[in-house]
Amino acid sequence: MANYNIYIKISKLIYKIVLAISALFFLTVYTFLQKQKLDYIQEPQFYCGTCMDEINNPSLNEINNPSLIKNVFGETLFKNNCAQCHNANASMLVGPGLAGIKERRDEEWLIKWIQNPQKVIQSGDKYAIKLFEKFNKTEMTAFTNFKEEEILAILEYIDEYNQSQKAIP
Ligand code: HEC
């Protein structure tokens, strides 16, 4: 009878230990998952410069960060045609950095220039000649078949890019 009592006590003890361990285990897993969920919410994911949350939920866009790049059309044109020679920020590459270009030159000039830089230089435009000489007469590619709206989209992208850089602390 005495032995029998000890067995009961031991099994009750083991039962309690198992219970405690599993409670601890579930608590750990639960806090871990909660933390993962928080991390997921707090760190926005980016896909090609566009916030993933915004792709999934476009209404977040305006509310959270109005300066995030939305002009994918201009961004693509810039990256495919201009980025090998120009940075969208102020630093020089083959040509000058294009930050603030809309303040330096008016739209009409920019459209003429991008469609045919050599034509603008040959027309005797002082600004163009000076720039051309500053860049050791490196010839910029002419984009004769670029339409006005394509050029405006590129310029818009450059502005948006620089605003989004300012928005990053
Ligand atoms: C092969 C290199 C090259 C490519 C490609 C190129 N550029 Fe240029 N760009 C230049 C150079 C070099 C200059 C400086 C002037 C010169 O030497 O003709 C310049 C000047 C400019 C300027 C005048 C900048 C200022 O500060 O006044 C603008 C605007 C410009 N480029 C826009 C563009 C855009 C938009 C594209 C794409 C559609 C583009 N460029 C593609 C080389 C390039």
Question: What is the rounded CA–CA span in Å between residue 44 and residue 133?
Answer: 45
Q: What is the pLDDT of residue 121?
A: 98
C-alpha span between 68 and 20 (Å, rounded)? 49
Ligand 1 pocket: which of 82, 152, 157 to mutate (most atoms within 8 A of CB):
82
Instruction: Tell me if 74 sits within 8 A of 162, measured CB to CB.
Output: no
- Contact between 142 and 118 under an 8 Å Cβ cutoff? The reply is yes
Select the CATH number that applies to the domain covering 70-167 from these four: 3.10.20.30, 3.40.190.10, 1.10.760.10, 1.20.1240.10: 1.10.760.10
β strands within the chain, DSSP E: 46-47, 50-51
5-40 confidence digits (pLDDT tens): 888 999 999 999 999 999 999 999 998 888 777 666
| Cα Rg of the chain, angstroms | 31
Residue 110 · residue 100 · CB < 8 Å: no
Ligand 1 mutation target, pool 73, 80, 86, 115, most atoms within 8 A of CB: 86
In 10 A of CB 154, how many CB atoms?
27
Alpha helix positions (H), 43-147: 52-56, 59-64, 72-81, 101-104, 107-115, 117-122, 126-134
pLDDT tens digits, 73-122: 999 999 999 999 999 999 999 999 999 999 999 999 999 999 999 999 99
Please, is 6 exposed, middle or buried when counting C-beta atoms within 10 Å of its C-beta (0-12, 13-18, 19+)?
exposed
CB 52 within 8 A of CB 45: yes
- Please give the distance, rounded to the nearest whole angstrom, from the Cα atom of residue 122 to the centre of ligand 1: 16
With tokens 């059309």, the residue in question is: 73
The whole-number pLDDT of residue 46 equals: 60
68 or 123, greater pLDDT: 123
The tokens for 133 are: 């000489």
Residue 116's identity, in one-letter code, is N
Mean pLDDT of 59-71: 56
- Measured from CB, residues less than 6 Å from any atom of ligand 1 are 81-82, 84-86, 94-96, 98, 101, 104-105, 110, 113-114, 117, 131-132, 135, 138-141, 143, 154
Q: 139 C-alpha vs ligand 1 centroid, how far in Å?
A: 8
Distance of CA 84 from the midpoint of ligand 1 (Å):
10
